[in-house]
Amino acid sequence: MPTAGNAGVALAAYAARAGVPARVYAPASTPPTILSQIRSYGGDLVLLDGHIGDCGAAARAYAAASGAVDVSTLREPYRIEGKKTLGLELAEQLGWTLPEAIVYPTGGGTGLIGMWKAFNELIAAGWVRGTLPRLYTVQAAGCAPVVQAFETGAAACEPWPAPQTVAAGLRVPDPLGDRLMLRALRESAGGAVAVTDAELVAAARELQTLEGIDASPEGGAALAGAIALKQRGTVTPRDQIVIFNTGAGWLYRG
């Protein structure tokens, strides 16, 4: 698989547990902590100059040549089903209700797609009632293909040239699930916002010093995006808002 961060660590860990080899392709600019975690789980780590799109091409070529299973985002069915857990746990922890708005830092976007699927299934099953949440995607200004597509009314993303951001998980210039993400944003009456690296770093620092939460840069982006949405009047103090840190956890702001 290719990775911008967490997915590569997860694959290496699960492969170690299952006793099978895993090859992970990552940009050489990926934070060293993530790379060391992949290696520590025994992953066969291949570093490439470029971005995650280049890693994806290399992973697909290796899978085709070797017979390895390609578990890249949306090239296997289980990632979205797993990401539904975000929506299911959210509904459970809020007493089987849903908030007015969800702010989510978006790279590959599987979390948004999975949550939207989960919420619609919960409504259909009668487990929750009422209005579905408005979904808002947050991207870094240096790599914001989803924001650009949403704002221009496009049905799909144009590849982002020369992606640059300190938030490695957001450095995805051409997300495969772009059409599904954009559909979820529009069906939910949500939106998209881009924040600068300075803004997301400052927001991550604020979470540390004011809340005692060691948020990732991606989590900082989500908080910075929520602040921008509040300044626009898109979300209000009357809204119940959930701000996600990464696909692994969430921060609640009432």
- What tens-digit pLDDT sequence spans the chain (254 residues)? 999 878 899 999 999 999 999 999 999 988 898 899 999 999 999 999 988 889 999 999 999 999 999 998 878 778 889 889 999 999 999 999 999 999 999 988 889 999 999 999 999 999 998 899 999 999 999 999 999 999 999 999 999 998 999 998 898 899 989 999 999 999 999 999 999 999 999 999 999 999 888 888 999 999 999 999 999 999 988 899 999 987 444 545 44
CA-nearest of 113, 120, 108, 145 to 10 is 108
Tell which CATH architecture fits domain 78-253.
3-Layer(aba) Sandwich (3.40)
- How many CA atoms lie less than 13 Å away from 237 in the CB half-sphere? 0
Whole-number pLDDT of residue 69: 93
The model's pTM is: 0.85
Whole-number Å distance between alpha carbons of 132 and 136: 13
Handedness of CA 228, 101, 188, 155 (dihedral sign): positive
Q: Does domain 6-66 have CATH number 3.40.50.1100?
A: yes
Whole-number pLDDT of residue 75: 81
Whole-number pLDDT of residue 168: 84
Whole-number pLDDT of residue 109: 87
Q: What is the pLDDT of residues 141-168, one digit of tens each?
A: 999 999 999 999 999 999 999 899 999 8
Amino acid identity, residue 63?
A: A
Q: What is the pLDDT of residues 29-74, one digit of tens each?
A: 888 988 999 999 999 999 999 888 899 999 999 999 999 999 988 7
β pairing state of 191-195 and 44-48: unpaired
Whole-number pLDDT of residue 116: 97
CA-nearest of 162, 165, 142 to 50 is 162
β pairing state of 249-253 and 241-246: antiparallel
State the span(s) of the chain assigned CATH 3.40.50.1100: 6-66, 78-253
